[in-house]
Structure formats: C-alpha cells, structure tokens
Amino acid sequence: MSESLPAAERLLNLVIALVNTTGKMTKEQIRTSVAGYDRAPSTEAFERMFERDKETLRELGVPVVTVTGAAHADEQGYRVDPDAYELPPMQLSAAQLGILALAAEFWSDQVLQVDASRALTKLRVVGARPPEGEQLLGLAPRVHPAGPALGPLLDAAAARQAVRFTYRAASTGEVRDRTVEPWRLLASRGGWYLVGLDRGRGAPRVFRLSRIVGSVTSVGDKNAFAVPPDADARALLDSAQEAEARTAWLGVAPERAGALRARARPSTESPPTAPEGWDVLAVPYTRASDLADEIAAYTDAVVVLDPPELRESVVRRLREAVAMARRLGVTTDG
C-alpha cells in the first residue's frame, strides 16, 4: 500500500506524526511508523525521500525543527514546533464552516475521508452550524481518485525529471507512448491533470491521469529541464477543457439549483422548451456522470432538456433511488 501512497498523503502523515510526538522522532522511527516511508527500497532511498519532504514542509510554512538528545549529541530527531505551528483561538461563522465542509467533501472518495470528517466534527465545536441541504448541493469539489500515476508524477515534477507512460487519447481512443517533461499537476472539474512538454510533439500538452494506461516510469537524469517562466499551466488546462466541454440544456424551477445557475453560460443557440415558468440554462460539462449525479440530487427541481443520453442517466439514477427506498421501506412521493 505504501508504495503507491500519493506524495501529498505521505507529507500529511509526516506532519501528523511530528505534531503528535511528545519529544522527537528519529529517522528510524519515521521510516518504520509513518505510512509512505516504511517500504522505501533502501536506506538511501528513504534518506532522499525524507530530506525532500522535510524541506517541502518547511517551504510550506510547517516549522519542522531538529532536536538533539541531551545525553547523546549525535542522536538527532525531528518534531514540529507547537508554539510556531499552533493556531490561535478561533470562532468560525456558519459560512466559514460551510466552506470547510465543502473542502472535506473533496476527500469523499479518498483515503483521508475519515480524517477529514473527524477534523470537521472538531471544528464544529468552535463555530456555528454550517449550512446544509441544497445551499451546498453542487458546490462540493468532486475530484475522483488520481490512481497510482499521481505519486510518480509528483516526484518527477519535483525532481525535474522526464517521464514515460502509455496514454489513451480522449478524442480518438488512440493508445500510444508519451515522453513528457512534467511541469505541474492540477485538480480541476472532477479530475487530475498533468501539464507538461510532450517531447514527441515538441509542444505543451495536457494529460488526464485517468487516461494513463499502466505505470509511469522516470526517464533520464534529474534536473534535466526547466519549466519555462512564461508557462501558464492553468491557462493550458482551461483551454484543453474548453475544447472538450459539452453543453447541457436544463430546465430549472424558479429560485432553485443555485450552483447550476452560477455555472450557466450564455448561448447563441435556440434553447429547447422548458416547463412553463421554469428557466432554461445552458450548463457546460465534461463528465456526464458527475453532472447526472448532481442533477439527480435536485430531484424535481431540474429536468434535462438535452442531450438525451444525459437525461437517461438522470432518470436511471432517480429510478434506482426510488427502488432502493422501496426496498428499505421508505415512503416516497410521486
């Protein structure tokens, strides 16, 4: 399990361990007890990983300090300085807790789901109750698991080392090997993306991690390239997603589905007909399954006018929900 643990989770595990240690943690204790380090293939590999992670945490503002034993000066350990890291007393408003609740939803399909839920429960003690129901519906950041490619790509991007992987193109389904200089990894619109220079094409490209087939391998030396100073990874990703985006025409009941209304875009096309008194929205999307899940959660407040396949996906979800409610003995209206 540890071999495929994403780098971000390994860093979080290290912070938790160093914050909660009563005195210090030696390197050997970290290697044997902190998930992500326990299966390092060699002592040298662990040393490189730990030193890199320690410096990354310091760059992020986590005060990792070196502690020397009083009796043995050469017995070094590490901990997080609690005085420098501890937050001051806080009072959170309902709106602030609502934002934190959305952040916790990010981990709904991830390894850290339990930890995120526990943290949110503790924060509710010092604040008001966050908003619930339709006010937050559709606003939660839905990011699907990145899979085993995320860890190697994060390491390669940090080391400025090229990678090779097999990739399935979205438009044609063509599967071919790619050699890429990884610039940056981004989470957006429900997925993880790699932005970098495709050496085979000699130009920047965007790759969705879920379309990587098999494993990611490092190629060549570290520090083999530099990210161009004018490279705008977010702009490249936005452009690629706009090229993939489709439009859903939705009929929305008055004053309902605020999250869908916020994402609606003007359109020059003639809109289809909605129920009388309802609004017609043109909503861009890339993952039909995610949008279908969101629309189904609004139940009778939203109808899909077009495309037909999206409407069928929503209807199927609603029928499955009704069937499950009947099996559980729950009474449903309509």
Tell me the CATH class for 2-85.
Answer: mainly alpha
Query: DSSP for 80-123?
Result: E-HHHHPPPP--B-HHHHHHHHHHHHTTTTSTTHHHHHHHHHHH
3-class DSSP assignment, residue 2: helix
Per-residue tokens: 310 = 């999206």
Was domain 150-241 assigned CATH 2.30.30?
yes
Asked whether residue 166 carries a pLDDT value surpassing 90, the answer given is: yes
pTM, whole model, 2 decimals? 0.47
Domain boundaries, the chain: 2-85, 94-131, 150-241, 245-327
Cis peptide before 145 (omega within 30 of 0): no
3-state secondary structure of 309: helix
* pLDDT 10s digits, 198-255: 999 999 999 989 889 999 999 999 999 999 999 998 899 888 877 777 899 999 999 8
Amino acid letter for position 235: A
Q: Nearest 5 degrees, angle CA 126-CA 127-CA 133? A: 140
Burial (CB count within 10 angstroms: exposed 0-12, middle 13-18, buried 19+), residue 252: buried
Q: In the predicted model, is pLDDT for residue 3 greater than 50?
A: no
- Pairwise CA distance, residues 62 & 59, whole Å: 7
DSSP E strands, the chain? 64-68, 76-80, 162-168, 175-188, 191-198, 203-208, 212-219, 246-252, 279-285, 302-306
For residue range 65-97, list pLDDT tens digits in order. Answer: 998 865 555 578 999 988 887 766 666 665 565
